[in-house]
Amino acid sequence: MNIKQLIEKNRTYRRFDEKHSISVEQLTELIDLARLSATAANRQPLKYMLITRPDECARMYPFLAWAGYLTTWEGPNPGERPAAYIVILGDKEISDKFGFDPGIAAQSIMLGATEAGLGGCIFASVKREALRHEFSIPDQYDILLVLALGEPIEQVVIETIKENDVKYWRDNQAVHHVPKRTLEEIIIHK
C-alpha cells in the first residue's frame, strides 16, 4: 500500500471483532513508529500506557465518548468493543506543553495499525480524571489522547460534503458514511 491507499483505508472505526486480540508486542511496534516521529524541539515528552488484557479493556471502555453524532447509539456492544488501547500521556517533568506532538504520534500509530490490518478511533473526549483514578496514573502525566484499537468489522464510506453538514451517519445496512470537504474548499487561494 502506498501512503494514499493507507490513509484512505485508515478510517475511524468503532465496531470490532473483540475476539481478535492484540498483543503488547504489536502495540510496542506501533509505539516505535511514534517514537521515531517528529516532536517539537526533539523534546519527546510523550509516554504511552498499553492496555491489552480483556479485564483492563473493560475498565477503560466507560471513560470514552463514542460517536457524538449517532445520538441513538450508545457505543459498541460487548463482543464488538476494542481489543486494546493506547493512552498517550504528556510527561510534565519533560515539558509543560505538548502542542502538536500527540496528533503527530497518534497518526503514526493509526497508520501502522491500519497497515497491520487493525483500525480504531482517536479519542480526545475522555473522562480524564476518572481514567486517572481507575488506572492510578500519576499526576506527573497529562492524559492527552486515548487510541482504541481492534480488528474492524464495519464498513466506512467517504462521502462528499453537502450543505456544510459534517455529521456522519449510519445507513440501514449499518454502513457508516463520513462527509468530507472538497479540496477546493480547504485550499485557500492567496
Report whether 93 contacts 138 (CB < 8 A): no
Interaction between residue 188 and a copy of itself (CB under 8 A): yes
Piece of the chain touching a copy of itself by CB under 8 A; list 14-22, 75-83, 138-146, 149-157: 138-146
Work out the number of other CB atoms within 10 angstroms of the CB of residue 39. 20
Interaction between residue 55 and a copy of itself (CB under 8 A): no
- For residue 67, count CB atoms less than 10 angstroms from its CB and return exposed for 0-12, middle for 13-18, buried for 19 or more: middle
What residues contact 107, with CB distance under 8 A and at least 6 apart?
A: none
Q: Is 98 helix (H, G, I), strand (E, B) or coil?
A: coil
What is the distance between the alpha carbons of residues 146 and 57, in angstroms, rounded to a whole number? 12
Give least dist CB 108 to a copy of itself, A.
6
Interaction between residue 92 and a copy of itself (CB under 8 A): no
Give least dist CB 190 to a copy of itself, A.
6
Piece of the chain touching a copy of itself by CB under 8 A; list 14-22, 74-82, 99-107, 149-157: 99-107
Please list every residue from 71 through 90 that binds a copy of itself, using CB under 8 A.
89
Question: In the set 17, 23, 28, 174, which binds a copy of itself (CB under 8 A)?
Answer: 28
Interaction between residue 131 and a copy of itself (CB under 8 A): no
